[in-house]
Structure formats: structure tokens, C-alpha cells
């Protein structure tokens, strides 16, 4: 819009409206944004000043040791002495550098502040500090889950855990008689094979059940049956090949015969099961390795003697967390070590200036897959005001970390959508500014 009356324009002392390339949408957007930012900036400044006046000990100083409260605290504490931490770096020439720090354990569960600093030895391990101390185990007992990869080692032990050995299909025996040499079945090189149905075929008697019997029991059964044909049959039973099923299972894994361990690699399926030769599927989800070993061997003992299985975890299923929102590189992050929320955000490139670190959201799936969530305030941690933030929690597999936008950024986006692209996009108006 242009003022066409020269008399009117001459009365304007400083500003006149002329035709220019600056559109009304740009002018309004600039004016509105600056007004909102100045207003909110003043409000935030007033709140920050009043908060600092109420909590002077929580304000960030250039050097925490310069605080009068900390100086008085350090005067009461003994100075750092030369002491050797087990496995640490020795002190060959004097004491290590005395430093001060905050330990969350000093507050019995409460959050420690900078005013709680005390002398601490931060250089106990010297140049070997990059390796760190031998900390506690990440997890007390590891429980199997889908995606884990196992190797099950098989070994024929030749050990009988309970009672006499009982014949099984595939075993071979030698049957002899003093009364009639024609009753002999099998030789020491190749015995009479127990059939898959558990029977053997002998002269004059036909099929006789043998599986599940001990050698002495089979001898008594044959002796009793032959007494109907001979006065003194004098039957003798000699085992030639035993524990054949264990050999078959071991060979099915892929190994040759002999006292050598053979391994089968299996992966826990999405239904939580693995499949092993001879015993089929086993649900292993939630099992520890000792529990799984006991379960496998108990199942094998029901069908075979002298076979021992040893499961070993060779590869864990991958663990991931997801970081999105106002971070430099929203991404999926693989967990290879214990990881906190700030560690995950750092791996995602850190939060952007638009990120609201006072309201970081963590979404989590519980054991029964229900959704739980929490909101964390990590602003003081990244500004150095909170040395042991209670909101710095450990992440689990599958967690989603969201860094939302600051309120001023959301307001700016709202103005952009409603006014710049909405109202002025529909009703474009231009102003001439001189």
C-alpha cells in the first residue's frame, strides 16, 4: 500500500511509506517475533534473578572451590594423604594431587550438591585410569531372551549316574549257551542289535523284549524261557555295544566318535525356544545358564545315559535405545555397556539449543509389555549446577528418549504456522517502509 497524497507524506517527519521489496508478511513476522522474545526474555530474567536470590548456594560459580561455604567445609576436613588404592597407581614421590569432589553415597540416597564437596583422590590410578577400576558386575544373573546365541557342547562321559545300565535300541549284545552252541546269536565283533521297537530275535524263541532291561535281567528272562526247551540252558549275555543313542546324538551334532566335545549352535527364537537333537524344543526364555544346563541334562537322562550337555552364551541379542527430538542426530543407539540418559543423548550428538532438558521424556516397556514413562530434569546437570542428579537414570533395552522443544520454540513455531503461513499466507498485505 502506498500513500499517494504528497501533502500527507510531507507531514511525516521520519518514516514514509514507499514501494519496496520488503513484504508485509516479513515485517509482521519480524515485529511479532521480536516483541514476544523481548517480553519472554524479560520474564525469564526476573524469574532467574529471584531464584538466584532465594538459592544462592545452587548458582553456578566459575570455580566451585571459590564458594565460601565450600572453603569452610574444606577447612574442617583433613587434607588428602598419600594412600595406595588396591590395584591403583602407587605414590613413589609424594602425595597425589589433592582435589575435591562430590560423592552421592555421602547423602544416603539424597541428591548431593556442590556445597557437599570434600577432599577426594581423583588420580588414584594415575595413567592407568583410562581402564578404570574393577567395578561390580553389570548384572547379577543374566537371563536368556530371544535373539541370544548359544553353543551347546556335547560330551559322552561314560559315567553312570544311577543304578545299572539299561539296554536301549541300537545297543548290541552277544547271547551264548553252554547247552547248545546253536543258540548263540552275535559275536564279539558284531552283536545282536536291539531293534527300534526294543526287541531282539533269538533262536527258538523269536522276538524277546530287551530295551529297558539290565544285562542281568535279560539273562534271567532268556534263561527262564529256554528252560522250557532245555534242562540246563546256561544262558550268558554279554554287552558288545552300549550307549549307542548317545553316540547317535553326538554324531548328529556333527562330530565323529571318540571322547571329544562337539558343539551345536542355536539361537533363541522369538517364541523363547531352542531345539536340540533327541529332545526337541525347550522354552529357555528367562533361564540362567546353570538353570538351562540342568534342564537339558535332565531331559537327556530320560532317554540316554552318559551324555552331558554344557550350554555357553556366545552372543547376546542386540540391545537398543532410541533418541529423538531436539538432538543433533536422532538415531537408534546400540547398548554395549551400561548407559545413562545423558550418555545416550551425547551419543546422539547432544541436545540442540532448542531442546528442553528440563522435561526429557523416557518411554519404557515393562516385563508384560505395558507402557510406562517418566519425565526427567537434566538442565542442572548440563549447566553444572547439580553434581549428582537423581534424574540421571540407567536406560534399558527398548527405551525411547525424547528431548522436546523449549516453550519459546514451540511458541515461535505456532506463530510461524498461524500468522506467517496461515493468516498472511491467505491475506497477503505489503507495507512500504522508508
Q: Give the CATH number, domain containing residue 266.
A: 3.30.1950.10
CATH number at residue 351: 3.10.560.10
- pTM of the full structure: 0.63
Give domain status of residue 136, yes or no.
no
Q: In the chain, how many domains are there? A: 4
pLDDT in tens, the chain (434 residues): 444 444 444 444 433 334 344 455 565 666 677 777 777 777 766 665 655 444 444 444 444 444 454 444 444 444 444 455 555 555 555 555 667 888 888 888 788 888 888 888 777 777 777 777 778 888 889 999 999 999 999 887 766 666 777 888 888 898 888 777 777 777 777 888 888 888 998 888 888 998 888 888 898 898 888 888 888 888 888 888 877 777 777 777 765 444 455 788 999 999 999 999 888 899 999 999 999 999 999 998 888 777 889 999 999 999 999 999 999 999 999 999 999 999 999 999 999 999 999 999 999 999 899 999 999 999 999 999 999 999 999 999 999 999 999 999 888 888 888 777 776 666 666 656 55
- If asked whether residues 65 and 126 sit together in one domain, one would say yes
Closest by CA position to 358, among listed 403, 396, 397: 403
Q: What gap in Å lies between CA 62 and CA 64, rounded to an integer?
A: 7
- Tell me, yes or no, whether 408 lies in a domain: no
Is 166 inside any structural domain?
Answer: no
Contact 296, 144 (CB under 8 A): no
Angle (deg, nearest 10), helices 407-415 and 24-54: 160
Final residue of a domain: which of 97, 130, 163?
A: 130
Query: What are the CA-CA distances from residue 22 to residues 26, 344, 431 (Å)?
Result: 7, 44, 7
Residue 3 lies in a domain: no
Q: Which of 178, 300, 322, 289 is nearest to 246 (CA)?
A: 300
Q: How do 118-120 and 235-241 pair as beta strands?
A: unpaired
Output DSSP code: residue 417.
I
CB 326 within 8 A of CB 352: yes
> Do 272 and 150 touch, CB atoms closer than 8 A?
no
Sheet containing strand 192-193, edge to edge, reads: 192-193, 172-177, 235-241
In a domain, 121, yes or no: yes
Does one domain contain both 276 and 325? no
Same domain, 237 and 250: no
User: What is the residue-wise DSSP string for 302-313?
Assistant: TT-SSEEEEEEE
Residues 339 and 274 in one domain: no
Residue 16 is assigned to a structural domain of this protein: no
**In angstroms, rounded to a whole number, what is the distance separating the alpha carbons of residues 98 and 119?**
7
Query: Are 235 and 295 contained in the same domain?
Result: no
Measure the CA–CA gap between 152 and 89, rounded to whole angstroms.
42
Same domain, yes or no: 217 and 180: yes
Domain contains 357: yes
71 within domain boundaries: yes
The grid coordinates of residue 257 equal: 566318535
Q: Give residue 356's Cα distance to chain centre.
A: 27
Burial pattern 238-249, b for ≥16 Cβ within 10 A else e, equals: ebbebbbbbbeb
Range of the domain at 180: 172-241
User: Do 179 and 218 reside in the same domain of the chain?
Assistant: yes
Task: Please check whether residues 296 and 330 belong to one and the same domain.
Answer: no
Residue 303 near residue 212 (C-beta atoms within 8 A): no
User: Which cell goes with 299?
Assistant: 531331559
User: Is 214 found in the same domain as 279?
Assistant: no
Choosing from 241, 260, 277, the residue where a domain stops is: 241
Cβ–Cβ under 8 Å, residues 403 and 345: yes
Amino acid at each position: 500500500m502506498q500513500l499517494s497524497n504528497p501533502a500527507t507524506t510531507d507531514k511525516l517527519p521520519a518514516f514514509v511509506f514507499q514501494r519496496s521489496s520488503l513484504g508485509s508478511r516479513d515485517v509482521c513476522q519480524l515485529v511479532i517475533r521480536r516483541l514476544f522474545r523481548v517480553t519472554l526474555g524479560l520474564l525469564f530474567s526476573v524469574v532467574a534473578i529471584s531464584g538466584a536470590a532465594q538459592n544462592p548456594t545452587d548458582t553456578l560459580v566459575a570455580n566451585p572451590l571459590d564458594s565460601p561455604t565450600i572453603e569452610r567445609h574444606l577447612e574442617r576436613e583433613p587434607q588428602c594423604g598419600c594412600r595406595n588404592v588396591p590395584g591403583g597407581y602407587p605414590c613413589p614421590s609424594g602425595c597425589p594431587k589433592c582435589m575435591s569432589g562430590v560423592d552421592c553415597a555421602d547423602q544416603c540416597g539424597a541428591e548431593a550438591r556442590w556445597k557437599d564437596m570434600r577432599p577426594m583422590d581423583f588420580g588414584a590410578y594415575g595413567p592407568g585410569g583410562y581402564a578404570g577400576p574393577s567395578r561390580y558386575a553389570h548384572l547379577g544373573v543374566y537371563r536368556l531372551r530371544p535373539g541370544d546365541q548359544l553353543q551347546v557342547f556335547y560330551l559322552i562321559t561314560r559315567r553312570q549316574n544311577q543304578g545299572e545300565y539299561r539296554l536301549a535300541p541300537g545297543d548290541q549284545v552277544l547271547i551264548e549257551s553252554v547247552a547248545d552252541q546253536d543258540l548263540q546269536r552275535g559275536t564279539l565283533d558284531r552283536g545282536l542289535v536291539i531293534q527300534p521297537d526294543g526287541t531282539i530275535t533269538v533262536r527258538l524263541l523269536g522276538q524277546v523284549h530287551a530295551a529297558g532291561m539290565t544285562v542281568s535281567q535279560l539273562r534271567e528272562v532268556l534263561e527262564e524261557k529256554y528252560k522250557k526247551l532245555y534242562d540246563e540252558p546256561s544262558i550268558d549275555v554279554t554287552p558288545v555295544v552300549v550307549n549307542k543313542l548317545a553316540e547317535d546324538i553326538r554324531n548328529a551334532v556333527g562330530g565323529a566318535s571318540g571322547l571329544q566335545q562337539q558343539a551345536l549352535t542355536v539361537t533363541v527364537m522369538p517364541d523363547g525356544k531352542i531345539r536340540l537333537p533327541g529332545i526337541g524344543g525347550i522354552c529357555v526364555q528367562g533361564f540362567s545358564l546353570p538353570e538351562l544346563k540342568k534342564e537339558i541334562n535332565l531331559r537327556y537322562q530320560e532317554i540316554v545315559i552318559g551324555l552331558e550337555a554344557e550350554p555357553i552364551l556366545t552372543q547376546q541379542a542386540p540391545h537398543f535405545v532410541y533418541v529423538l527430538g531436539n538432538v543433533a542426530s536422532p538415531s537408534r543407539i546400540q547398548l554395549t555397556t551400561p548407559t545413562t540418559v545423558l550418555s545416550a543423548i551425547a551419543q546422539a550428538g547432544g541436545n540442540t539449543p532448542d531442546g528442553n532438558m528440563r522435561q526429557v521424556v523416557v518411554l519404557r516397556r515393562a516385563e508384560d509389555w505395558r507402557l510406562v514413562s517418566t519425565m526427567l530434569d537434566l538442565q542442572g546437570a548440563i549447566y553444572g549446577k547439580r553434581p549428582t542428579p537423581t534424574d540421571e537414570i540407567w536406560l534399558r533395552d527398548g527405551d525411547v528418549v525424547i528431548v522436546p522443544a523449549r516453550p519459546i520454540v514451540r511458541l515461535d513455531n505456532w506463530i510461524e504456522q498461524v500468522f506467517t503461513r496461515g493468516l498472511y499466507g491467505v491475506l497477503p498485505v505489503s507495507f512500504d517502509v522508508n
